Amino acid sequence: MSEFHLEKIAGVSFADIFGSDEVSISFEKVEAFLDQMVVVASEKAKTSPNQLVRLVHNGQVFWMTQQQAAEFLKKGSDPDIRKEVEQALRGELKSVRQELEILLAIAFYMLHQYKENSAIPQEEIDRIEPSLRRRQKEIAEGVSSTTESEAILAEKRRRNPLISHYEEKMGEFLNCKARGDLVRAAALAKELALEKKQYVLQSRSIEPDIRTIYYHRLNLQKTKKRLLSTQSDLCSSRQGLLKWEVNELKNNLGMIREELDVADREGMDSAASQIKRLRQYDTETMEKNMMEKSMELVALQCESDILARKEKETESVIAHIAENVLHEQELKIDIAETTRQTNKPLFQTETKHQSTIAKKKSSGMHISKFKDH
How many Cβ atoms are within 10 Å of 251's Cβ, its own excluded? 10
Q: How far apart are CA 312 and CA 310, in angstroms?
A: 5
Predicted pLDDT at 274 = 55
Measured CA distances, 204 to 194, 211, 234, 276, 368 (Å):
17, 11, 46, 85, 16
Predicted pLDDT at 277 = 56
Predicted pLDDT at 248 = 87
Predicted pLDDT at 104 = 95
Predicted pLDDT at 8 = 59
How many Cβ atoms are within 10 Å of 286's Cβ, its own excluded? 16
Query: pLDDT tens digit string along 144-167?
Result: 999 999 999 999 989 988 998 999
Q: Is 121 exposed, middle or buried (0-12, 13-18, 19+ CB in 10 A)?
A: middle
How many Cβ atoms are within 10 Å of 268's Cβ, its own excluded? 13
Predicted pLDDT at 360 = 39
Q: Return all residues near 93 (Cβ < 8 A) that are at least 6 apart.
A: 143, 146, 147, 150
Q: Do 300 and 66 touch, CB atoms closer than 8 A? A: no
Average pLDDT per 10 consecutive residues for the chain, totaling 373 residues: 55 81 72 84 86 89 88 79 92 93 93 93 95 95 96 92 91 93 93 92 91 94 95 95 90 75 61 58 80 92 94 91 76 39 48 42 34 39
Secondary structure letter of residue 9 according to DSSP: S
Output the pTM of the full model.
0.78
